[in-house]
């Protein structure tokens, strides 16, 4: 992994020799200095989406090569996703989702 833009853009090394891949997360910035409203600087994915991909992949691997470690990994990935989804629900309830607050 190589960080291109901290927190937002990464280059991922391939397992076997070949081209690197980029992973772009959504990058939002204030609409103007001092604003809590955000606009998209770079479109990309979310932590939740990446976790869903990892959960799907681990379930696929678990079906082919079952082991305790895979099962534990799936449980913890699902727990991480649950916490991120709870955070979003809480932010929506507080009407602060999509805003940058100090």
Dist CA 30 CA 32 (whole Å): 5
Residues contacting 100, CB < 8 A, separation 6+: 28, 30, 35, 36, 38
Give the start-to-end residue ranges of the domains of the chain: 1-45, 46-94
Position 99 pLDDT exceeds 80: no
Position 95 pLDDT exceeds 90: no
Position 34 pLDDT exceeds 90: no
What is the model's pLDDT at position 25? 98
């Amino acid at each position: 992994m190589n960080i291109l833009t901290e927190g937002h853009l990464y280059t991922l090394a391939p397992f076997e020799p070949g081209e690197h891949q980029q992973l772009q997360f959504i990058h939002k910035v204030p609409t103007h200095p001092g604003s809590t409203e955000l606009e998209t600087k770079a479109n990309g994915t979310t932590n939740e989406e990446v976790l869903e991909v990892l959960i799907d992949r681990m379930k696929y691997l678990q079906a082919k090569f079952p082991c305790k470690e895979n099962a534990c990994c799936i449980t913890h990935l699902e727990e991480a996703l649950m916490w991120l989804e709870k955070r979003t629900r809480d932010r929506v309830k507080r009407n602060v989702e999509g805003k940058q607050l100090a």
